[in-house]
Every structure is written in C-alpha cells, then in structure tokens.
Structure 1
Amino acid sequence: MQKQALPTRPLVLASTSVYRRELLSRLGLPFETASPMVDETPLADETAAQTSLRLAIAKARALKGAFPDALLIGSDQVALLDGQQLGKPGTHERAVAQLTHMRGRTVEFHTAVALFDAASGQTSSATDITRVSMRNYSDAQIEHYLRREQPYDCAGSAKVESLGIAMIAAVESTDPTALIGLPLIALCNLLQQHGVEVL
C-alpha cells in the first residue's frame, strides 16, 4: 500500500468550529486550527454570496502573521430567506424566531471556502449554494428541538448532521458537506491547485 503524500507546508484551518474541524479531518491530512478573530457582521447591501465569500477569505488571510509559510483555510456560511441573511442565532429566542420564519419554506445556504497561500499571497476560493426545504413543524416541535439540540452557533438554527435533520423535508446540493460548514469537494479542488494531493 502506497503512503499518502503529506502537504509540504503546514495546513491551517482558520476556525474553532468543531463541525469544520471534523469535516477537514475526514481528508486524512495533518492540520492545525486557530481562531481568525474576524468580525462576521454583513456589510450594507452585501448579498449572502458576497458576505460568505468575503468572510471566508478574511478568515484565511487573518492568520498570515502567525503562519507565514502555511496554506490557510477559511470558510463561512450565510443562510438566506426572503433576501434576509440569517446568521447564528446566539440565543434561544432568536433561534425560535428563525425557525418560525423558516417553517414550510426553502432556505438558501451560501457556504464559501477560501485557501490562502501565506507564502505567495495567492488566494483561491469557491462558493456552494444548498437549498433546504423545511418541514411544516409546530411551535411545540421547535421548542422540543431547541431544548434538545441548542443549535445557537449554527446559521439557520438547524443542524443537518444531528437532530436538525428532523426539521428538514429535503436538501438540494452538489456537496453534502457544504451544509455542515465546509464544502470538501471544492476544498479538494483548491488543495490540488496548490499542490496538495488528498488521495
């Protein structure tokens, strides 16, 4: 059995998200994680796609000083409904409001990934759009779900990788990992462009 080629330079995930860390670990590449400390507030008149891409790039570039020779991975996700961006609720009350507004409707999740070569200054990026149709769940089901899951750090308040799947009727996507927060299909392409072979 041939050994897998390892990255020639450090690989760093610019995130403290346990979901993104778990996703990246699926590729079997050694990597570090670090907090990028980026303000995630959307800019005025910025689309969901623009917000997610800008923040993914900003997160990757934010760690250049700490990792000057590394390949830095940044990712961000924005949920969109009726032209309104739905971020991480942060509180129970906001999560109730989000899920109530999303009930029986289709939400777009814009998930961007950026790979920044700190040595060369080159940035590559991609964005995935996943459409999620929500069930017509009741107020009581919203409460029951939130008390069990507490998804207050999740854009749109429903974690597809766990109990949140019960709130969802259908998912339309080209990359099943994008909805969890890190589009691995796109990331594999970006890594290959930078000389990192995953297989």
Structure 2
Amino acid sequence: MKLILASTSVSRQKILKKFNLAFDCVAPDCDETPYPNEEAINLVQRLSRIKAESVAKQYANRIIIGSDQVGVLNKQIIGKPHTVENAIKQLQACSGKTIHFYTGLTVMHTGNQQSITVYEPFSVTFRHLSLAEICAYIEKEQPLYCAGSFKCDELGITLFDKLTGEDINTLIGLPLIRLNKILIEMGYNPLLQSNHT
C-alpha cells in the first residue's frame, strides 16, 4: 500500500516525510473558489475532499491524502497576498490580533473506497508589530504565497505572542497527529510499515 499526497506543496511534503515512508506527490485538479457565503470549515473540508477525489480516480489500491487550509480574521477568509503591498496590509491587520486557521484533511483508501474527512483548528495570536518589523520580515522571508503572509515553521515564529492548538503541523498545512490516527483506523499504521516501501 503506497501513500499519495494530493499536493505539490513543499511544506506539506516536508511534514509527511516525518513518517519516514515513501510517498508520491500528485497535483490535484481543483477549483479552490469558495462558494458564496461558504463557511471556512465547510470550505476546507470540501476542498480537501475534492483534491483527494481528483487524484484517487487515477490510482487503484492507494491511500490518498488531501488537505486545504484557510485563515480567518474578523470573520473574513485570509488569502495569499501575492504582492509585498498586500503582505504589509495583511500583517498590519493581524498585528495584536488572533487569527483562526482551519485545515481540512481527507484520507481516501482507493482499495476499499473508505474515505474520512475532518478539519483541525489552530489559532495564532500576533504581537503588536511595527511597520519596520513587518517590512523587515517580508523582505527576509518573502511570504507572498502563504495565507496570512507568514511562514510559521521559519522566521514567522518571531511575529507571534501565542500559538494555540494540538499539533503545530496543522498550522504548517498538514495535521499529522490526526492523519496518523486516521491511517491507523484504516489499517495502515506508519510505525508498523517498512521504511520507504
């Protein structure tokens, strides 16, 4: 049984490598546009499921892992900034506030058609940030393709007062503790697999 990560995200690949098992990465075919008035939790669960399903169609007897994440500030979904100007605005808006992140996770076993979809919450409380700190951070780390304009597994940690959640991997993009539990439920225990099989 081989794992397939329905993602080309370098961060998610780095997290999944912690299991010390071989896996393939396949880009999912997924329109990530939210539905009108779609709640963040529903959005991440729907998109993680679509990502997994789009890859599952191509493979027999595999375990497919799909994931999606959004951040929410003042009931508004936070996207990727794409530009320095937008990143500055995002971090100014986050300064001194708590951002709630929701990560959807779908695990599909294409052998027996078993599928489980869940979400994991994680909250980040930002320090009060000066414009100089924000600009220095963006220049050093270039987080233009990260929701919320930060990389928490790198220098982004300097922006925070507090992190609240069960698994720091969730914030990076893949809730590994929850994934491990689901894999065991499906009869695939990462500890009992041969390395790199």
Question: Normalising by the residue count of structure 1, what TM-score does the alignment of the two structures yield?
Answer: 0.92
In structure 2, the partner of 1:158 is 150
Indicate whether 1:118 and 2:102 are aligned. no
Indicate whether 1:189 and 2:181 are aligned. yes
| Segment drifting more, 179-188 vs 57-66 | 57-66
Deviation track 1:43-88 (CA, whole Å, cap 9, x = no partner) reads 1111111111111111111112322321110011110011000022
Structure 1 residue matching 2:50: 3-state secondary structure: helix
Deviation track 1:155-181 (CA, whole Å, cap 9, x = no partner) reads 111111001011111001111210010
Name the one with the larger helix percent: 2
In structure 2, the partner of 1:38 is 30
Picking from 126, 131, 134, the partner of 2:126 is 134
* Pair 121,93 (structure 1): closer, same or farther in 2 beyond 3 Å: farther
In structure 1, the partner of 2:194 is none
CA distance in 2, matches of 1:20, 1:135: 26
In structure 2, the partner of 1:102 is 94
RMSD over aligned CA atoms reads 1.1
In structure 1, the partner of 2:14 is 22
4+ long deviations beyond 2 Å: 118-122
* Pair 93,68 (structure 1): closer, same or farther in 2 beyond 3 Å: farther
Letter in 2 for 1:132: V
In structure 2, the partner of 1:5 is none
Structure 2 residue matching 1:24: 3-state secondary structure: helix
Contact 1:116 1:124 in 2 (8 A): yes
In structure 2, the partner of 1:66 is 58
Post-superposition offset of 1:119 = 3.1
Overall identity of the aligned pairs, in %: 38
Q: Unaligned stretches of 5+ in structure 1?
A: 1-8
Post-superposition offset of 1:28 = 1.2
CA distance in 2, matches of 1:191, 1:105: 35
Question: Normalising by the residue count of structure 2, what TM-score does the alignment of the two structures yield?
Answer: 0.93
CA distance in 1, matches of 2:91, 2:150: 8
Structure 2 residue matching 1:26: 3-state secondary structure: helix
